């Protein structure tokens, strides 16, 4: 079954808005695991507006499932953090400085030389690498040439198209997933997946290893409760018998 990694950035956003340690980000990571998540994702940014670098070290101490750190490797501070913490997986995202949220994947052709170097650096440290890419065949093929272990398909376009034409919305992702499998790339996905569109995505994308979900899951948890919400998302990933 496709694994669920809970992105806990929004817990940190809420904490930082008031100061102090409420909600406790480390407890959010512990509870995600207790409630059935297969992993925990964090995305520290240079301005530390949500997850702080100290949080990453604190979470590493208590992780019992999979730890995924997302971020822009063009920031040396991020590279140093990942090599020091050594999570199970690093997801490389081409964010601009100060960007509110990720909004595009890598141009794996234009940045091939750079990606080959940075992917090799993380893999040499024993860290699985995933590249954030758009569902474009050329970008998937370019990713395969970098030596990355996985790609993470950026799913905002799918989420936006799902309410009006789900088949049209899923088609480029299915095509990209098939090509990734042919190239022996494992497959992750994330961004704007929620309780409305997740099941259809998981049922129609072959060989989907993992989804990383944060914003929608935390918003749902405000109404439905954290434990219940994690379980609801897990159910969306169950294969149809």
- Do the domain assignments include residue 44? yes
- Do the domain assignments include residue 116? yes
CATH number of the domain to which 109 belongs: 3.20.20.70
Query: How high is the pLDDT of residue 50?
Result: 93
Phi, psi of 3 (to 5 degrees): -85, 150
- Do the domain assignments include residue 145? yes
- Do the domain assignments include residue 241? no
pTM over 0.75: yes
CA distances from 239 to 2, 3, 128, 140 (A): 9, 12, 25, 25
- Do the domain assignments include residue 104? yes
- Do the domain assignments include residue 132? yes
- 196 a catalytic residue: no
Cis upstream peptide for 23 (omega within 30°)? yes
- 241 a catalytic residue: no
- 104 a catalytic residue: no
Given a cut of 70, the residues of the chain with pLDDT beneath it are: 96-103, 241
Catalytic residue among 43, 66, 152, 210: 43
Count structural domains, the chain. 1
Residue-wise pLDDT tens digits, 192-218: 999 999 999 999 999 999 999 999 999
- Do the domain assignments include residue 71? yes
First to last CA, the chain: 12
232 CB burial (10 A radius; 0-12, 13-18, 19+): middle
Q: Which tokens go with 179?
A: 């090509």
Query: How high is the pLDDT of residue 103?
Result: 61
Q: How far apart are CA 132 and CA 106, in angstroms?
A: 6
Catalytic residue among 50, 66, 152, 191: 191
7 beta partners: 41
Q: How far apart are CA 24 and CA 90, in angstroms?
A: 23
Q: Coil, strand, or helix at residue 207? A: coil
Catalytic residue among 66, 70, 152, 210: 70
Residue 84 belongs to domain spanning:
3-236
- Do the domain assignments include residue 157? yes
Query: How high is the pLDDT of residue 101?
Result: 55
Report whether 68 contacts 86 (CB < 8 A). no
């Amino acid at each position: 079954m496709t694994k669920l990694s809970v992105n806990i950035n929004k817990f940190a956003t809420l904490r930082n808005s008031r100061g102090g340690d409420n909600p406790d980000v480390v407890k959010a990571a512990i509870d995600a695991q207790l409630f059935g998540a297969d992993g925990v994702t964090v995305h520290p940014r240079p301005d530390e507006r949500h997850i702080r670098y100290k949080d990453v070290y604190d979470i590493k101490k208590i992780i019992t499932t999979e730890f995924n750190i997302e971020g822009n490797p063009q920031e040396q501070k991020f590279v140093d953090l990942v090599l020091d913490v050594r999570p199970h997986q690093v997801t490389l995202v081409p964010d601009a400085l100060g960007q509110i949220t990720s909004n595009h994947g890598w141009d794996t052709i234009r940045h091939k030389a750079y990606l080959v170097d940075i992917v090799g650096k993380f893999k040499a440290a024993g860290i699985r690498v995933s590249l954030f890419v758009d569902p474009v065949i050329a970008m998937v093929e370019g990713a395969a040439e970098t030596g990355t272990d996985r790609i993470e398909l950026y799913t905002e376009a799918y989420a936006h198209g799902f309410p009006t034409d789900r088949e049209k919305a899923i088609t480029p992702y299915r095509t990209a997933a098939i090509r990734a499998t042919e190239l022996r790339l494992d497959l992750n996905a994330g961004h704007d997946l929620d309780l409305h569109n997740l099941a259809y995505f998981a049922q129609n994308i072959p060989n989907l290893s993992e989804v990383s979900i944060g914003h929608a899951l935390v918003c749902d948890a405000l109404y439905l409760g954290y434990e219940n919400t994690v379980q609801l998302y897990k159910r969306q990933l169950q294969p149809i018998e």
